[in-house]
Amino acid sequence: MASTVFEEISPADFFYRNREIAGFSNPVRALYSALRELVENSLDAAEVIGVLPELYIRFTYVSGPIDGSAIYKIRVEDNGSGVRGDMIPSAFGKVLSGSKFRLKQSRGTFGLGGTMTILYGQITTNTPARVISSIGSDYIHEYELMIDIQRNNPNVLRYKTHVDPEHWHGTIIELSAEGDYTRAAPKILEYLKQTAMVNPYADITFVDPRGRLYVFDKAVKKMPRMPRETKPHPHSVDVETVQRLITVTRCNDLFSFLTTHFLRVGKGIARRLLEEAQLNGETSPKSLTPNTVAHLVNVMKGFTGFLPPDASCLSPLGVELLEAGIKKELNPEFISVVERPPSSYSGHPFIVEVGVAYGGGIPKTGEIILYRFANKIPLLYDETSDVSWKVTHGLVDWRHYKVNLLEDALAVVVHVCSTKIPYKTVGKEFLADRPEVEREILNGVRQAARNLMVYLSRKERVDRDRKRLDVYAKYLPKVARFSTRLSGEEKEPDVGVLLRKVAKSESPESTEA
Amino acid sequence: MASTVFEEISPADFFYRNREIAGFSNPVRALYSALRELVENSLDAAEVIGVLPELYIRFTYVSGPIDGSAIYKIRVEDNGSGVRGDMIPSAFGKVLSGSKFRLKQSRGTFGLGGTMTILYGQITTNTPARVISSIGSDYIHEYELMIDIQRNNPNVLRYKTHVDPEHWHGTIIELSAEGDYTRAAPKILEYLKQTAMVNPYADITFVDPRGRLYVFDKAVKKMPRMPRETKPHPHSVDVETVQRLITVTRCNDLFSFLTTHFLRVGKGIARRLLEEAQLNGETSPKSLTPNTVAHLVNVMKGFTGFLPPDASCLSPLGVELLEAGIKKELNPEFISVVERPPSSYSGHPFIVEVGVAYGGGIPKTGEIILYRFANKIPLLYDETSDVSWKVTHGLVDWRHYKVNLLEDALAVVVHVCSTKIPYKTVGKEFLADRPEVEREILNGVRQAARNLMVYLSRKERVDRDRKRLDVYAKYLPKVARFSTRLSGEEKEPDVGVLLRKVAKSESPESTEA
């Protein structure tokens, strides 16, 4: 009987074979994904050091059919933190090597994007990527590298350092890749436009292959509060997390282990938790058997005394910035932006921000334009699978809020930020419908929609009043003239006083009383 | 300036942190995914040795709230190929170690499923998995193992061998995992039902946690043609693939390298290809520079002389088996099954099979029931994102085929088999809308729908005829009686002859002429 052959592949090889799950499925999509991964890394790199991001992106045509799959050079420059010289090869030439495996909000989540882009460029053009970076020291480091896919290792072809008395910091990545720019352009421009909408404190410049310049200047100079690294909430941990903490902890007793390594576990809570688990607080954590660890985790998960995770590790945009961003890009007649209070799912904190915009510069009528954002990045693909689509197209009855979907121009903006965005794909296309997240989005949309309803009601009333005033203005003089004549008087009364009175009155009911 | 810390994580750690992208997002979904991954591995293991699959699946309640997240023991037994004793630890205890990285149709594609299930069980219950397997030799191997997630290595806790004079072959996996069976049950049962539909040659027995027995017996004893391993088609390769082939090849010249390692490259084609690439066929492949390899790949991709990949590496069900499967599960009034000719996208061969079923035992009316299958596994999640949904709900105008969607019960079955299913997620939920795949599905649905239209037209005509016959049967005797009386005759003519004549006639037009 033939036996089956088992073999092991490297993570780079896995993502090389399955690149479509990381968003590199075809020349159109790949170009979009390449741009996006590099832009998101750059934005993160600037924010992590509290600098207003300045990005310069250039696509240059190299060879091949312009109306199909051609080779383009992609260059992205940022003013971010930069990467330490000795870390550059593995940071960019090794899949699953990254700086974002900490518990903190960031755009990148999988530690894949930058390296996948370089890998994609390499397999389509067989040319190395160039990485130039400095953390603001005396030297700028310049590498030319390729990825040894089967071994998941960087392969450095050239390395240079440049003395830099200016102490520039940032990263420049340059690579060639196959792509179909002509067909990718609409998504790429939409992506940049929406990125500008939720990052109104960033300058983004894009030069397309035909040399056209797109400039998205910052609308504000204020950055949102920076996210901080946080500890795991007891509701979010599993046996593996606790085992790892036990391995690295310096705590000698369970009581201090609990209060040191977990969020929302103060001394009182720790005592109650130990009591419920029937464990002795003086036990050394390293002496716990696997079964006891599993038991402790179960007790933690079922324990109802913890406060929900706090949101200091999150960086929402805030009402002011989101409103500025939406106004700048859509210029609507009315806008209501709502920031929901922090919430959590399975111990992961999240905040939902919702904007509902109406009329004015919103381009389409007859359908809801949905803008979806997660940790300040726009999501453009697979809209109908997203939880926000479910909310805006299924759960909210817009007629209730006086919106006529057939005639009115309506845009809904949903921004979810979290230490753990519930993406359903590595390509970061859409959010799963976790009940807690769905509920917060629903509440946010309803809250903003109520403000819209108030506005529309007032508008309706003003319209009605104006119409009534028109009627009064037309007939009151006639009535006055007629009454004057009928009563034999000479001088007509001044109807202007009456009209002004009606016009002034805000509530139509009171004028009728 | 603070510098960013880079760290590397193992592939096991990556999927541990991002288990939701592999389908283990919550206790409901995880239980479904666990069952599914094990079942699919078992079906593959039986088919690879040409044996009719026999699966025995048992879920046993262990502890926790029955109406929420509880611990269940999951056991799956098969009669498949088994795994060699020394290979069991890495096959089940190492992420990205697998037997399915070859170019061949199989249910598993990512080399992840089995190990992910064990990993999920481990992190939710902290208990080891038990794997018992034999390839039909004198010994059965039994392992108890856990996964060292940070190192991506199996950790064997116990190992035993049993002498087996019966030479049993197969694999038994047993593990404990957290899950919400009560809420997962509908999807799990639907999954098993649909699996039985496309694997009508398999016996599947399932015992649920309450001891209820579900038996899906085989409807046929014939297995579909087995898939064969194939070589890459020149249109599907990239620089990396060719570089790897150059590393392992024993060919000393480019000409034999091309004819040996690629599909559809005969001597004539190889000569034309070398000419177009302006390369000498006597050059040693190992002497090619990276740039020349990139050039060769570009020429290959643009070359139009290749035949499309042949489909001998694919294993479609065939019209007979698919029809048997659908009849067994749906028992419709009418069914039309179509197998499309082999096609390809980017050098990957694929075959689409479509069944359109109407009326009878189909449970719902008023909407199209869509059954989606890929390489003989049912896809149950994210239906509206699937290319088949787009075809059946957007591109086909059912009124054209005389189907009244509001009243008729209609089921559409789409089965795509390929060496490379264009999944968009690691959780294997739905297929991307690759234009070539979309076109084949559309053609298949239209072809089957035309057969349905013919049936419905005939049914309509028969209905019309029967109605006319009813009218004749009612009035003809009266007309006869009246005419007899009117003409003064005594004996009425035999209207039965006339009625039988009308009834026999197939074409309503001819009877009216």
The model's pLDDT over B163-184, given as tens digits with 9 standing for 90+, comes to: 999 999 999 999 999 999 999 9
Quick one: A72 and A22 in the same domain? yes
Which of B422, B438, B455 corresponds to the end of one domain? B455
CB contact under 8 A, B135 and A3: yes
pLDDT in tens, B48-72: 899 999 999 999 999 888 888 899 9
Residue A130, pLDDT score: 97
Interchain proximity B99–A3, CB inside 8 Å: no
In contact, B493 and B476? CB cutoff 8 Å: no
Strand partners, B178: B71
Counted domains in chain B = 4
Q: Hey, are the CB atoms on B2 and A49 less than 8 Å from each other?
A: yes
Spatial contact of A173 and A208, defined as CB atoms under 8 Å apart: no
| Cα B111 to Cα B132: distance, rounded to the nearest angstrom | 19
| Preferred mutation among B5, B6, B97, B248 to probe A, highest tally of A CBs within 10 A | B6
8 Å CB contact of A90 and B8: yes
With a CB cutoff of 8 Å and minimum separation 6, the contacts of B476 are B495, B498, B499
**For residues B384-403, average pLDDT:** 91
What's the rounded Cα separation, in Å, for the pair A114 and A38?
Answer: 6
Q: Which of A5, A101, A126 is the closest to B9 by Cβ? A: A101
CA distance, residue B125 to nearest chain A CA (Å): 6
- Are B26 and B136 members of one domain? yes
Which run of H or E residues covers position A204? strand A203-207
Whether residue A110 sits in one domain with residue A15: yes
Domain boundary among A175, A190, A216: A216
With respect to residue B83, please indicate whether it lies within any of the assigned structural domains. yes
Mean pLDDT in chain B? Answer: 88
Closest residue of chain B to A119, computed from CA coordinates: B240
Are the C-beta atoms of A121 and A176 separated by less than 8 Å?
yes
Does residue B424 have a pLDDT over 90? no
Strand, helix or coil at A253? Answer: coil
Provide the 3-class DSSP secondary structure of residue B63.
strand
pLDDT at B241 over 60: yes
pLDDT value at residue A428: 81
Q: What is the DSSP letter of B201?
A: T
Among residues B253, B274, B302, which one ends one of the domains? Answer: B302
Q: What is the rounded CA–CA span in Å between residue B465 and residue B86?
A: 72
Q: Find out whether A297 and A238 touch, Cβ atoms under 8 Å.
A: yes
CB contact under 8 Å between A291 and B239, yes or no, is no
CA distance A450 to A453: 5
Same-domain status, A276 and A162: no
Look up the CATH number of the domain holding residue B173. 3.30.565.10
* Tokens, residue A29: 């999509």
A449 located within any domain: yes
Query: Do B268 and B297 fall within a single domain?
Result: yes
DSSP A268-279: HHHHHHHHHHT-
- For the stretch A415-426, pLDDT in tens is 999 988 888 777
Smallest CA–CA distance from B48 into chain A, residue = A4
Q: What pLDDT score does B99 carry?
A: 65
pLDDT value at residue A108: 67
Q: What is the ipTM of this complex?
A: 0.77
Cα B225 to Cα A3, B264, B319, distances in angstroms: 20, 21, 13
In the structure, what pLDDT confidence band is assigned to residue B344 with cuts at 50, 70 and 90? confident
Q: What percent of chain B has pLDDT over 70?
A: 94
pLDDT of residue B310: 80
Would residue B448 count as lying in a domain? yes
pLDDT tens digits along B30-45: 999 999 999 999 999 9
Closest by Cβ to A18, choosing from B7, B110, B169: B110
On whether both B381 and B326 belong to a single domain, the answer is yes
**Within-domain flag for B16:** yes
Q: Are B479 and B332 in a shared domain?
A: no
Tell me the mean pLDDT in the region B440-463. Answer: 94
Question: Would strands A348-358 and B153-163 be described as parallel, antiparallel, or unpaired?
Answer: unpaired
Domain assignment present for residue B298? The answer is yes
Residue numbers of the domain that contains B294: 234-302
Q: Same structural domain for residues B116 and B182?
A: yes
Nearest chain B residue to A64 by CA distance is B298
Q: Which residue has the higher pLDDT, A490 or B233?
A: B233
- Quick one: B367 exposed, middle or buried, by C-beta within 10 A (0-12, 13-18, 19+)? exposed
Ranges of chain A with pLDDT below 70: 1-6, 98-104, 108-111, 504-513
Whether residue A4 is contained in a domain is answered as no
CB contact under 8 A, B6 and A87: yes
Contact across the interface for B1 and A239, Cβ inside 8 Å: no
Coil, helix or strand at residue A250: coil
Q: B81, A4: Cβ pair inside 8 Å?
A: yes
* Average of per-residue pLDDT across B350-376: 91
β-strand pairing of B203-207 with B169-179: unpaired
Ordered DSSP codes for A76-138:
EE--S----GGGHHHHHHSTTEES--SSS--S--SS-HHHHHHHHHHHHH---EEEEEEESSS
Number of Cβ pairs < 8 A linking chain A and chain B: 175
Tokens of A305: 């005394």
In a domain, A1, yes or no: no
Please tell me the distance in Å from A340's CA to the nearest CA on chain B: 24
The per-residue pLDDT for A218 is 86
Contact A382 B385 (CB under 8 A): yes
Interface residue of B5, B8, B110 to substitute, partner A, most A CBs within 10 Å: B8
Same domain, A392 and A468: no
Residue B1, in any domain of the structure: no
Buried b (16+ CB within 10 A) or exposed e, B8-34: bbbbbbbbbbbbbbbbbbbbbbbbbbb
This prediction's pTM: 0.80
CA angle B447, B452, B455 (to 5 degrees): 135
DSSP state at residue B493: P
Q: In Å, how far is B83's CA from the nearest CA of chain A? A: 7
Contact B30, B23 (CB under 8 A): yes
Closest Cβ–Cβ partner in B10, B81, B290 for A126: B290
Query: Which residue of B126, B146, B153 is the best one to mutate when testing the A interface, meaning the one whose CB has the most A CBs within 10 A?
Result: B126
Mean per-residue pLDDT, B323-339:
91
Q: Which residues contact A140 (CB under 8 A, 6 or more apart)?
A: A132, A133, A134, A161, A162, A164, A168
Cα-based distances in Å from A40 to A314, A382, B179:
17, 19, 36
- Over residues B130-143, the mean pLDDT reads 95
Residues of chain A in contact with residue B127, where contact means CB-CB under 8 angstroms, are: 294
| Cβ contact, residue pair A96, B382, below 8 Å | no
Query: Where residue A254 sits, what CATH number does that domain have?
Result: 1.10.8.50
By CA distance, what is A16's nearest residue in B?
A: B240
Out of B7, B123, B127, closest to residue A101 by CB: B7
Same domain assignment for residues B368 and B484: no
Task: Identify any residues that bridge with B161 across adjacent strands, giving them in sequence order.
Answer: B141
Which residue of A176, A238, A291, A384 to mutate against B (max B Cβ within 10 Å)? A238
CATH number at residue A333: 3.30.230.10
The tokens 């009878």 sit on which residue?
A: B360
Same domain membership, residue B112 and residue B83: yes
Domain co-membership, A50 together with A105: yes
